[in-house]
Amino acid sequence: MSKRSDVIYRIPCGNCDSVYIGETSQYLSKRLRQHKHDVSSKNGKTALCQHVLDYAHTFKFDDTTVLANEEVSTKRKVRELIEINEEDKSVNYKSDLTNLSHT
């Protein structure tokens, strides 16, 4: 799984039912290292990091799952928005969802 790229992924929180959903064109292992670095540096750049800072929770990076694979960047970003919208327990900011059509 770590050598997969062009994916939409889901990381569960280890302390509650929340999840973080993201997308990347990079190898998933590299993107997860970036998330871990964000958390350790407490920079709050992502909703995942902000959840950790707000609640002192930890995410279970080893339990990350790939939800979909999509090589086309635009399609991958739209699929990410759909996955975030459908996930009730998402910690994602959801600011981009205003651009998602209900159809």
Whether 12 and 63 have beta carbons less than 8 Å apart is answered as yes
Span 48-78, pLDDT tens digits: 999 999 999 999 999 999 999 999 999 999 9
**1 domain-assigned:** no
Q: What's the total number of domains in the chain? A: 1
Determine, yes or no, domain membership for 58: yes
Asked if residue 103 belongs to a domain, the reply is no
Q: What CATH number is associated with residue 11?
A: 3.40.1440.10
| Residue 42, CB-side half-sphere exposure with 13 Å CA sphere | 5
Per the domain annotation, does 77 fall within a domain? yes
Query: Residue 11: which domain range?
Result: 7-92
Average pLDDT for the chain: 92
| pLDDT at residue 33 tops 60 | yes
Q: Is residue 26 situated within a structural domain?
A: yes
CA distance 7 to 20: 14
Q: Would you say residue 97 lies in a domain?
A: no
Domain annotation covers residue 18: yes
Query: What's the rounded Cα separation, in Å, for the pair 13 and 42?
Result: 17
pLDDT band at 99 (very low <50, low <70, confident <90, very high): low
Give how far the C-alpha of residue 8 lies from the chain's centroid of Cα atoms, to the nearest Å. Answer: 8
pLDDT at 43: 87
| pLDDT for position 3 | 86
